[in-house]
Amino acid sequence: MLLAEENNWDLMKTFFAEEGLVKQHLDSYNEFVEHTLQQIIDEIGGITIEVPNHTYEIKFGSIEVGDPVITEVDGTQRPVYPREARIRNLTYAAPLYLEIMLEDEGKETYEKVNIGDLPIMVKSKLCLLSRHTPDELMALGEDPEEVGGYFIINGSERVIVSLEDLAPNRVLVEIDDRGSNPVYRGKVFSTTVGFRARIEANLKAKGEMSVTIPGVPVPVPYVVLMRALGVETDKQVADMVSLDSKILSELEPSFREAGNIRTREDAVLYIGNRVAFGQVKEFRMKRAEAILDRNLLPHIGRGADQRKDKAIFLGEMCARIIELKLQRRKEDDKDHLKNKRIKLAGPLLAELFRSAFWSLYRDMRYQFRRMSTRRKGVLISAAVRPGIITSRIQHALATGNWRRGRVGMTQLLDRTNTLSTLSHLRRLQSPLSRSQPNFEARDLHSTHWGRLCPNETPEGANCGLVKNLSLTASVSSGTDADKIKRTLEFMGVVKAKDADENLRHEGAKIFVEGYLLGYTTTPQELVLKLREMRRRGEISGEVNTCYYKTYNEIYVNCDEGRIRRPLIVVSEGKSLLKQRHARQLREGRWQWGDLVREGIIEYVDAEEEENAYVAIDPNNLSAEHTHLEICPFAILGVVASIIPYPEHNQSPRNTYQAAMAKQAPGLYVLNYRDRSDTRGHLLHYPQKPAVGTKPMEIIGFDKRPSGQNFIVAVLSSSGYNMEDAIIFNKAAVERGLGHSSFYRIYKAECKQYLGGAKDRLTIPEEGIRGYHGAEAYRQLEHDGLIAEESEVKGGDILIGRTSPPRFMEEYGGLEVRGPQLRDTSIGVRPTEEGTVDGVFITKDIEGSQLVKVKVRSNRVPELGDKFVSRHGQKGVIGMLVDPEDMPFSVHGTIPDIIINPHAFPSRMTVGQFMESLAGKTGSVRGEQVDGTPFDNEDANSLAESLEKMGYHPGGREIMYDGQSGRMFEADVFVGVVYYQKLHHMVVDKIHARARGQVQMLTRQPTEGRARGGGLRFGEMERDCLVGHGAAMLLKDRLLEESDAYSIYVCEKCGKQAYYDIRQRKYVCPICEGKGEIEPVTISYAFKLLLQEMQSLCLSPSLQLTKEFE
């Protein structure tokens, strides 16, 4: 490794030591708790309640969040840790306290009231775990390496998946050429706290421009809108747009369209006529002005004094659209990351809390009004119902149903292994529809470099819409924009309102968060000075700036949700990171934050990177370079960075591996024995890979791997490894290769019902409803629970439970024995077997007894189990061969598995060959080989090492056939490859059925393995039998074995008949005694169709013909 690369690797380690891998979620949540909560309360301020002869003033003060506690049924409160919340199905939440001041005619009363509970993000500042050292965490029964970033709701771990959205308050221009003539469009998502308005301006084919405003049913002509905002004369309107004669000539049709409207009053009335048609003039004017202030560009302001600023903004928007038409400006790229913002847990929870608090506000207002009529007076604590906020937030987190009809915003945290958990916490979702193509949105964009992983995305409908953050990518938390505006004004920026004609003509425009702040004559110097101030720490490090020479525009961004990446600053062709800094880092005297403060490293967003010239290799630095990459492999995400030699693979193979690495059992948490996850997989003998990558150290993959090193021979052999099957050495499997355990939790709670009845844990008595037979209960102890380490199989009862009847009629009158109980015992799934690993007996939040039984089943690799290398080469076991029949080498080495050589040519996974060589070298050397992406030990070095140690440099070996003892004519490629067992095991998939359950409605067999369903004989299978002319087999499959049913049909009228049991004869309801009735075998689904048609007042008749004349 070169010295520079070693320094950069030390730098990466300090970055992860300080930043971690889920910092974006934790920072976002901490920001929400520390600042956003208070801002939401301050926005609302208080309530004024006027009742006859009285006025109450209620003001809201500061809000604070307590420590996570739980209130038991008896009312006692005590601290709660995540471990207890998981086992007892609790929500890990803390109470919110709000200071409320009530002013009652000069008399003031203060009270701190609990307004609800806020779910706590694990490992955030409010979480109890963040205050403990790893050793203390182990003593508490928690995982010392816990990363956090998720919530615990009703005992399950839920993660808020970050949402990728278009940037607010930025004008985006585009050409809509779907019609015969192109329409030039500019749109802006004007967003202010809790409100989002889409403003759109269109330049139609005829040349007139109109603006769409929410709340106005029709587009408003541009000139009319400008006049309504107080820009009355034509010259003023034109000046707002541009001083260029060509641009102004394009405005002519717009002026003509608004020819009749000359004054501001006319323009406001024009809008008023369209929003309040038929009302009195004052009301129409008032309504129109309210829409102009509240719905038009609310991010600029919502008062009458901001109308001039709104007119300036609209003028800029109009100028851009005309420039687009004149081909002076290109369409904005919606997929460029400068136009995207990431909504993390903070903003999403803020949106939720805002709407929940408004509900509480309305309820409080109602309660105060009710109380004010009573003699006792008003009590603050009695008017606040904490359940409103608690239930709204918890329900949204538990179901993923957010405001505005968005669904799937939270997901159950994937705990298959360490990688799957980290990957899930770094995932981004796009709000675009899964069903439409959206090719451009799914594409990899140049701005994704170093920000989003190029390989980690699912296959199928979500491809390219679900993305993952790269290793060093972070999300900005934002800083105060007003402070930046003041700084820029101090630096000599002239405000847009005050700019003269000359400055507007020659100066560069400056936009702060999409808002036109003003003009400057020295754009280049201003941008450089701003960056210099950021490096010196004079302004926030969250600020990024960019200067576009072609448009003469400067953009300054300081909002939250921009994906940024750290780069080393280069000055005059030399990196600012010197050897002494690296030494300080290695000795632990400096941290990552010190480098950022010193201006050696800075965070760059996608927009600022447009001005940057980044070097990848420190040896190729030139005077033009502005920045240097820290590590080239940082462009990959968490999962892709564990693939060795990925640059030698075809790209899709790396994508397949990224998906499958999340399905490999490993050691997912250290405290798995104390957890009650519904399903859990554990690999018995996980191994560190013989070929590692540097990021593994940071991710913790070396400590908690999810695979084993296999000796792999590439050989066609007996043909049992055709089509990606794998031949396994039986002896290796018997020694423990690929062994894993599968855990499943079975739960039962003893509910209490109205009327005092409740469930009981006991061994059910024979003869009660739903009794499973004495054999099923044989292992239960006297308390109705099974003992630990009992061997169980499908159908065995784990928890014996009886419940009272569900419906009144089941009570069966005044029986001597009392109501008939039901058996609601919990049994092992019919297809599973195993050993009882543990029994958790506890109480839930309502005080009901809760029992969880964990069943462990040992999974030994068998025919059909799926394995995969780290290069997307997946396969199932095709044969288990005795060791004496396996091929062996000169040294007597027997491979663990044999894979087929046909797996390589078309898939081009050369990386697996490289890994095989490196694994062999590492095994002989006795050390891990570095296979880091783009920075690894090359093939020549590996070949040299192998040759020195007496092996063939190309990894080939002379091998002998185990069955005949003859030497193979060709050399066999043998090496050590890291293989992962996947949780798709044949024992969970195998399914067959002769007869069984049928659906109630159609009487056809049920669907799916869990319900013991039938195997679908589909349309294509039917076509085969039709082609073969196998009529009887066809009838057997589709009728006899499915839903054959006999009905009686009257030959005379064709209607259905029936058998009258009293008269003992068949009767046709229409022909009565004269009908000739015949039995017919039809599909029950067809009988259902006939009856459904009858329910629609259609009367179908069946015409019968004799089978044999």
Task: Respond yes or no: is residue 724 known to be catalytic.
Answer: yes
pLDDT score, position 815: 53
Contact 257, 223 (CB under 8 A): yes
Kindly report the three-state secondary structure assignment for every residue of 381-399: HHHCCCHHHHHHHHHHHHH
Question: Which residue in this structure is represented by tokens 């380490």?
Answer: 789
Cβ atoms within 10 Å of 1015's Cβ, excluding its own: 12
Alpha helices in 949-1015 (DSSP H): 986-989
String of b and e for 301-340 (b: at least 16 CB within 10 Å)? eeeeebbebbbbbbbbbbbbbbbbbeeebeebeebbbbbb
Low-confidence ranges of the chain (pLDDT < 70): 1-4, 375, 808-819, 1109
Distance of CA 600 to the CA centre of its chain: 34
384, 735, 820 from 359: Cα distances, Å: 11, 62, 45
Three-state DSSP state, 377: coil
Alpha helices in 412-474 (DSSP H): 418-425, 439-442
Token digits for 923?
């095994």
The answer for residues whose C-beta is within 8 angstroms of residue 856's C-beta and 6 or more apart is 741, 742, 743, 834, 835, 836, 837
Contact 322, 171 (CB under 8 A): no
Question: Which residue in this structure is represented by tokens 């589709």?
Answer: 1038
Rounded to whole angstroms, the Cα distance separating 460 from 449 reads 23
| Helix (H) / strand (E) containing 881 | strand 874-881
Rounded to whole angstroms, the Cα distance separating 434 from 460 reads 9
Cβ atoms within 10 Å of 454's Cβ, excluding its own: 18
The CA-based dihedral angle spanning residues 768, 772, 778, 782, taken in that order and rounded to the nearest 10 degrees: -40
Radius of gyration of the chain (CA): 36
pLDDT score, position 1109: 62
DSSP state of 607: T
β-strands 508-512, 515-520 pairing: antiparallel
Cβ atoms within 10 Å of 274's Cβ, excluding its own: 17
Contact 77, 69 (CB under 8 A): yes
Q: Can you list the domains of the chain with their CATH numbers?
A: 26-164+342-413 (3.90.1100.10), 172-331 (3.90.1110.10), 479-558 (3.90.1070.20), 646-739+863-981 (2.40.270.10), 743-859 (2.40.50.150), 991-1039 (3.90.1800.10), 1043-1109 (3.90.1800.10)
Three-state DSSP state, 544: strand
Per-residue pLDDT tens for 507-561?
999 999 888 899 999 999 999 999 999 999 999 999 999 999 999 999 999 999 9
* Nearest CA-CA partner of 680 in 623, 741, 635, 721: 741
Predicted TM-score (pTM) of the model is 0.94
Long-range contacts at 1076-1079 (CB < 8 A, ≥ 24 apart): 1076/1050, 1076/1051, 1076/1052, 1077/1048, 1077/1049, 1077/1050, 1077/1051, 1078/1048, 1078/1049, 1078/1051, 1078/1104, 1079/1046, 1079/1047, 1079/1048, 1079/1049
The CA-based dihedral angle spanning residues 228, 231, 235, 237, taken in that order and rounded to the nearest 10 degrees: -70
Rounded to whole angstroms, the Cα distance separating 449 from 443 reads 13
Token digits for 27?
């920072």
pLDDT score, position 1: 39
Rounded to whole angstroms, the Cα distance separating 95 from 118 reads 6
pLDDT score, position 917: 97
The total number of residues shown for the chain amounts to 1109
Side-chain-side CA neighbours of residue 832 (13 Å): 25
Token digits for 597?
């403060």
The answer for residues whose C-beta is within 8 angstroms of residue 1044's C-beta and 6 or more apart is 1081, 1082, 1083, 1084
Three-state DSSP state, 4: helix
Q: Which residues are bridge partners to 683 per DSSP? A: 740
Kindly report the three-state secondary structure assignment for every residue of 125-159: CCCHHHHCCHHHHHHCCCCCCCCCCCEEECCEEEE
Catalytic residue among 674, 724, 885, 961: 724
Question: Which residue in this structure is represented by tokens 């038929």?
Answer: 278
Angle at 1082 between CA 1079 and CA 1083, to 5 degrees: 150
Question: Which residue in this structure is represented by tokens 């309640």?
Answer: 49
Long-range contacts at 285-293 (CB < 8 A, ≥ 24 apart): 288/228, 291/213, 291/215, 291/216, 292/228, 292/229, 292/268
